[in-house]
Amino acid sequence: MLQGRTIVLGVTGGIAAYKAIEVCRRLVDLGAHVTPVLTEAAHHMVGPTTFTALASEPVKTSLWRDSHHIPHTKMGQTADAIVVCPATARIISDLRTGRSGDLLSATLLATTAPVVMCPAMHTEMWEHPATVENLAVLAERGVVIVPPEEGRLAGGDIGKGRLAEPATIVDRVVKLFADRPLEGRRVLVTAGGTREAIDPVRYIGNRSTGKQGYAIAAKATQLGAKVTLVTTVDRPVPDGAEAVEVTSAAEMHDAVMGMAAECDLIVMAAAVADFRPIAVADGKLKKADGVPEIELEPTVDILAALGEVKRPGQVLVGFAAETSDLRVNAADKLARKGADLIVANDVSAPGVGFAHDTNAVTILGADTFVVDVPLTDKGSIADAVLSAAVDRLPATD
């Protein structure tokens, strides 16, 4: 199942490091080429000889000692996945902040391959707000987290923080490769609300935070796609995705239309302004000059423009933010804009739409497909949207 896959197995200095030996053996048994990277601290917990005997290469630990090449960039570039098992609070924090203090943290920074983090630590450390926040940021960037279980911890304590079972970890690694229907596909996702300038300090905007678009971009990279995110917001970019920053509807239009032809799937999750001021004041509008009259003009409809130039086999997904008559309005947008799918949400419902971590949507297809996805996290909504989109992509050779 893992034949031909190169996996860097990062082992950090937690007591659960002994279980990484079992993970290593199972990965090799499934055909993977496993490169073990032990931190200095891991050497206090397990002997490198065991890993060297079981893995496909001798243990590596230092940026300086093991090779005449630059091993972290080489390993990062050639890995199909990096599995950190166990992952201490330290390595989680390092990856969140981009700190590269040793070979493993440097390798994690030098890769665009999927990363699987298997945390193991005392309950207090697992529940510390710093760890909770670090893991949330990593998950948002697309790092796969295999959560710890309840059980006996070092020193006889009992609680949450025990490393997941080796079989669970290996299953998750296998799934990385089994489940990549977007491998070789180019996906474009837009995210966030556009801002239309009134004067140098003011703009017309909306409440979109980009969370749903970023969740779709993260899932699409996990499914193997090469993802470009055209975004108006400053959030952690999912690992492996490329971000293009824009501000206004016109800028988003130019960025999107410039790359649309090369993309297999385009998801317009951005909340694009419908109107913009006709004239942008050169200087700040002064209160003393009285209440300004701001005349608006329509912006370009990017989704409709994409619908007009859509090439055969390309899948186009739009969103519909509604506050009433959800299905009727969404079906109308689907037809009017030439999309293949519309993801409609009632943004007036509790927990739905802008700024929430949750969403509830109805996905409508031009081919009469309809599915309701009840209130859930935005990652699960992303799964449902991408699954409907994948079903509509033509088969590759």
Strand partners, 102: none
Say if CB 179 and CB 171 are below 8 A apart. no
Helix (H, G, I), strand (E, B), or coil: what is residue 118? strand
Closer to ligand CTP by Cβ: residue 113 or 249: 249
Contact code string over 186-215 relative to ligand CTP, x by CB under 6 A: ------------------------------
Least Å distance, CB 372 to ligand CTP, is 18
How far, in Å, CA of 192 to CA of 226, rounded?
20
Q: Contacting ligand CTP (CB under 6 A), which of 57, 66, 254, 274?
A: 274
Is 341 near ligand CTP (CB under 6 A)?
Answer: no
Q: Contacting ligand CTP (CB under 6 A), which of 301, 340, 346, 383?
A: 301
Applying the rule CB under 6 A, the residues between 104 and 123 that interact with ligand CTP are none
Q: Tell me which amino acid residue 152 is.
A: R
Rounded (to 5) percent helix, strand, coil in the chain: 35, 25, 40
Residue among 395, 353, 343, 391 at smallest CA distance from 375? 353
Which value, in Å, is the radius of gyration of the alpha carbons in the chain? Answer: 24
| Catalytic (active-site) positions | 206
Is 333 near ligand CTP (CB under 6 A)?
Answer: yes
Least Å distance, CB 268 to ligand CTP, is 4
Is 231 near ligand CTP (CB under 6 A)?
Answer: no
> Could you tell me the CA-to-CA distances from 290 to 197, 199, 204, 286 in Å, in that order?
19, 15, 19, 8
Count of positions on this chain that bind ligand CTP (CB under 6 A): 14
Q: Contacting ligand CTP (CB under 6 A), which of 303, 316, 334, 361?
A: 303
Phi, psi dihedrals of residue 276, rounded to the nearest 5°: -140, 155
Residue among 52, 23, 149 at smallest CA distance from 9? 23
Is 11 near ligand CTP (CB under 6 A)?
Answer: no
Strands (E), the chain: 6-11, 33-38, 81-87, 115-119, 144-145, 149-152, 158-162, 186-191, 196-197, 203-204, 226-231, 242-245, 265-268, 275-277, 296-298, 315-322, 341-346, 358-365, 370-377
Q: Contacting ligand CTP (CB under 6 A), which of 82, 249, 334, 385?
A: 249
The two structure tokens encoding residue 145: 């987290």
Is 272 near ligand CTP (CB under 6 A)?
Answer: yes
How far, in Å, CA of 326 to CA of 56, rounded?
55
Closer to ligand CTP by Cβ: residue 86 or 318: 318
Applying the rule CB under 6 A, the residues between 306 and 325 that interact with ligand CTP are 318-321
Is 270 near ligand CTP (CB under 6 A)?
Answer: yes
Is 169 near ligand CTP (CB under 6 A)?
Answer: no
Kindly compute the dihedral angle of the four CA atoms of residues 237, 238, 239, 242, in this order, to the nearest 10 degrees.
Answer: -60
Closer to ligand CTP by Cβ: residue 107 or 345: 345
Least Å distance, CB 239 to ligand CTP, is 25
Candidates 139-147, 298-306, 348-356, 360-368; binding stretch for ligand CTP (CB under 6 A) = 298-306
Q: Tell me the residue number closest to ligand CTP, measured at CB.
A: 302
Closer to ligand CTP by Cβ: residue 81 or 339: 339
Closer to ligand CTP by Cβ: residue 131 or 212: 212
Phi, psi dihedrals of residue 168, rounded to the nearest 5°: -65, -45
Binding site for ligand CTP (CB under 6 A): 249, 268, 270, 272, 274, 299, 301-303, 318-321, 333
